[in-house]
């Protein structure tokens, strides 16, 4: 059974394997090898038997082929209502076939399944809200991704991402030392302007355990500084863990369930070790989804809950504004029209829509809802790993049109996007379509308008 040196069924577990993959620019050899990667039909059959249970089988069976899911999918809308983009078609022609043929599919088919699972679906789960039978095709595509991953049919960047988590317990090659160094650096960088500013590492029994997205220490360290300053102003007793600080999960996007488990257990380990009262994660949608919503299941926690109560950053901000820990200077509120990008992962799939509205009521004078919004909002166009996969860049850019038009319809030029993936997609949207918008996380905006208590200001 031929397997490639780079494209194979084995997940990446060592730095050597990872480096070899990274050296293959854009996955050229990787995708070439994929064309010859055999399907292990017996293994696929066994996996189906073990994991494809009544929920998914019933979904596939009872689909009435009514087409009501069509208009719910932003890819269908962005691609001029191409029937091949109807969610039901996409899932029936991939997972549906695999189940119907009980795993008897070939390489070409698996590549088609991969291109559909990652290139035509962001697992935003919007279709699930529009099907009369409650068929959630996003969930099924997540499952299909797992099947594809187990057979080695996974986009190059996703294989790398899963490997990163397995090796570094982070989506990027950031070691605990790198992370702690970055925290110290950000503290030193800002302590002159903010006397007494601390980024406490591994403090036990703190009120808040703060966790991040590895992109922050790697590319946007100022985000960590901003979080620290806001906690400082709010007077929070907080800490970051030296190990278990990363909440994201490219393993989830990749369908690498074992990698998912390893990743969340690292974070849960920090919770158990440092015994904080609660956990707050940075402005990232899928990090929250992975660690707080889905993670307990990967880790086999029967309550379905993280070891300590866990919150998204917007929940903390809403609470801080509500309780007056953070006070907004009315003169500095956002005056221009501003809109809010509801992240699928923490709004539709985790129910935090009210927090977002509460925050906007404190900070914006002319808040404009997108239409549709809240749990019915459209994916930014870059979710589910889509932003990061070169193979599907063109499809991604086409998909962005729906969000672009939604933003334009609000008349706002500023988009608040408290989610790394949404933030990226909207940034790229401006690059591709030049619509003259700006985009921002909450932290930099809050820092501009928050009232700093006198005792925290530097002495003149």
377 three-state secondary structure: coil
381 three-state secondary structure: coil
CB of 281 to another protein, least distance (A): 14
185: phi > 0 → left, psi -120 to 50 → alpha, else beta; which?
Answer: alpha
Q: Is 455 exposed, middle or buried (0-12, 13-18, 19+ CB in 10 A)?
A: exposed
* CB nearer another protein, residue 46 or residue 64: 64
297: phi > 0 → left, psi -120 to 50 → alpha, else beta; which?
Answer: alpha
* CB nearer another protein, residue 156 or residue 316: 316
* CB nearer another protein, residue 190 or residue 421: 421
* CB nearer another protein, residue 137 or residue 386: 137
CB of 161 to another protein, least distance (A): 20
CB of 378 to another protein, least distance (A): 13
* CB nearer another protein, residue 129 or residue 328: 129
CB of 396 to another protein, least distance (A): 22
CB of 175 to another protein, least distance (A): 30
Spatial separation of the C-alpha atoms in residues 35 and 344, rounded to whole Å: 33
Residues near another protein (CB under 8 A)? 51, 53-55, 57-59, 61-68, 70-72, 76, 81, 83-84, 86, 88-89, 92, 128-136, 293-294, 297, 300, 302-304, 348-354, 372, 374-376
> β-strands 208-211, 238-239: how paired?
parallel
CB of 460 to another protein, least distance (A): 44
CB of 207 to another protein, least distance (A): 20
* CB nearer another protein, residue 71 or residue 431: 71
Sequence-distant (≥ 6) Cβ neighbours of residue 379 within 8 angstroms:
74, 122, 124, 126, 344, 399, 403
Radius of gyration of the chain (CA): 22
Spatial separation of the C-alpha atoms in residues 283 and 27, rounded to whole Å: 30
- For residues 287 and 279, the answer to whether their CB atoms sit within 8 Å is no
* CB nearer another protein, residue 13 or residue 58: 58
Tell me how many helices (H) and strands (E) the chain has. 22, 8
């Amino acid at each position: 059974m031929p397997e490639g040196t780079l494209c194979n069924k084995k997940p990446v577990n060592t730095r050597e394997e990872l480096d070899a993959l990274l050296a293959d620019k854009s996955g050229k050899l990787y995708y070439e090898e994929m064309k010859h990667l055999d399907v292990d039909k017996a293994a696929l059959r066994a996996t189906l038997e073990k994991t494809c249970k009544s929920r998914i089988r019933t979904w596939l069976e009872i689909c009435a082929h009514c087409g009501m899911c069509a208009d719910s999918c932003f890819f269908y809308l962005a691609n001029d209502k191409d029937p091949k983009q109807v969610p039901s078609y996409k899932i029936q022609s991939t997972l549906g076939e695999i189940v119907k043929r009980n795993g008897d599919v070939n390489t070409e088919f698996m590549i088609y399944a991969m291109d559909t699972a990652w290139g035509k679906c962001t697992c935003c789960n919007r279709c699930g809200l529009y099907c009369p039978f409650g068929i959630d095709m996003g969930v099924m595509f997540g499952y299909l991704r797992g099947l594809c991953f187990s057979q080695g049919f996974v986009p190059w960047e996703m294989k790398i991402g899963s490997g990163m988590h397995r090796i570094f317990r982070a989506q990027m090659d950031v070691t605990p030392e790198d992370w702690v160094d970055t925290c110290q650096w950000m503290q030193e960088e800002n302590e002159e302007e903010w006397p007494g500013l601390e980024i406490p590492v591994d403090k036990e029994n703190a009120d808040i355990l703060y966790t991040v997205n590895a992109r922050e220490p790697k590319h946007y360290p100022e985000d960590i500084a901003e979080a620290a300053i806001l906690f400082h102003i709010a007077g929070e007793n907080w800490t970051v863990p030296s190990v278990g600080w990363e909440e994201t999960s490219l393993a989830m996007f990749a369908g690498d369930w074992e990698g998912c488990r390893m990743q969340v257990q690292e974070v849960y380990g920090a919770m158990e070790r440092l015994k904080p009262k609660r956990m707050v994660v940075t402005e990232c949608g899928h990090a929250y989804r992975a660690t707080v919503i889905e993670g307990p299941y990967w880790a086999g926690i029967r309550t379905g809950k993280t070891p300590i109560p866990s919150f998204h950053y917007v929940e903390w901000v809403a609470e801080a504004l509500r309780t007056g820990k953070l006070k907004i200077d009315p003169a500095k509120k956002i005056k221009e029209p501003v809109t809010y990008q509801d992240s699928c992962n923490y709004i539709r799939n985790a129910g935090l829509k009210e927090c977002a509205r509460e925050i906007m009521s404190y900070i914006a004078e002319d808040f404009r809802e997108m239409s549709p919004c809240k749990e019915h909002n459209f994916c930014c166009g870059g979710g589910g790993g889509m932003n990061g996969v070169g193979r599907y860049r063109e499809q991604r850019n086409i998909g962005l049109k729906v969000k672009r038009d939604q933003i334009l319809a609000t008349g706002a030029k500023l988009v608040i996007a408290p989610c790394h993936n949404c933030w990226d997609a909207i940034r790229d949207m401006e690059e591709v379509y030049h619509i003259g918008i700006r985009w921002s996380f909450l932290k930099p905006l809050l820092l501009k308008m928050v009232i700093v208590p006198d005792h925290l200001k530097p002495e003149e």
